[in-house]
Amino acid sequence: MGRVTARRRAHHLTGATAEARPETLVVEEPLEIRVDGSPITVTMRTPGADVELAQGFLLTEGLIAQREDLVSVRYCRGADVDGVNSYNVLDATLAPGVPKPDVDVTRNFYTTSSCGVCGKASLEAVRLSSKHCPGDDPSTVPAAVLSAMPAQLRDAQKVFNSTGGLHAAALFSVDGTMLVVREDIGRHNAVDKVIGWALENSRIPSTATVLLVSGRASFELTQKAVMAGIPILAAVSAPSSLAVDLAGQSGLTLVAFLRGDSMNVYTRPDRITR
């Protein structure tokens, strides 16, 4: 497995002084995901939890619906460089009977660490492709429990503490128990890693949970929460208008600007109790 941090020299300027010193940076490397040997996507990610990342991506893009839809997810030996596996290519083998994806890889599935899969066709396309829509989930979470989650997430961000350059996502139960936390240079990758963990641990649909993200609530992250059947998505920063629209149509509770004891609840406020 590749490293998650690297050392590079930088010139540090403070007022009239300058000092050359090594800095710890987060690693960014490409990961190619294949399905039955065919390339599906290339995403720029921080190495680590790659199998979870691949599983989460396949689920949130509607290519699989459950862990049983996969036979295996393995690194490709064909990716060897000078006889050493680069660990930058994964191949997922679908179970018999699971339809193979039919995608234009040059148009639909090249992702970057900043935006992920941009330009999904419509809100309706996401709604129709979701097999785990959270609208009927009756779970609730006390506002005080929700307010305590960002501090728990921040304390768990081990790589962020040394680099300052990572997004994070965590899945909590509605009683405030942190189930899993993952970091990545791409916010969408961090969420896919969390959802991949849930898939591997038979927690799809992820009922009675809260997905917390360290940045903004974009349309794509909202889509991923909907596809995983997560009833509550919370973000420490702002939501987009399309994220709010999708949450409203899907019955997802969308919380943003979650800071201290303050928050904005944009959809399904009935799930947040006082």
Any catalytic annotation for residue 76? no
- The residue whose two tokens read 């929460």 is 225
Q: Please state, in angstroms and rounded to a whole number, the distance separating the CA atoms of residues 24 and 255.
A: 33
CA angle (160, 59, 128) in 5-degree steps:
125
Q: Please state, in angstroms and rounded to a whole number, the distance separating the CA atoms of residues 87 and 30.
A: 10
230 closest CA partner among 268, 189, 262: 268
Q: Please state, in angstroms and rounded to a whole number, the distance separating the CA atoms of residues 188 and 181.
A: 13
Catalytic residue among 76, 115, 118, 133: 115
Helix (H) or strand (E) holding 9: strand 5-14
Amino acid at 258: L
Question: What is the set of active-site residues?
Answer: 115
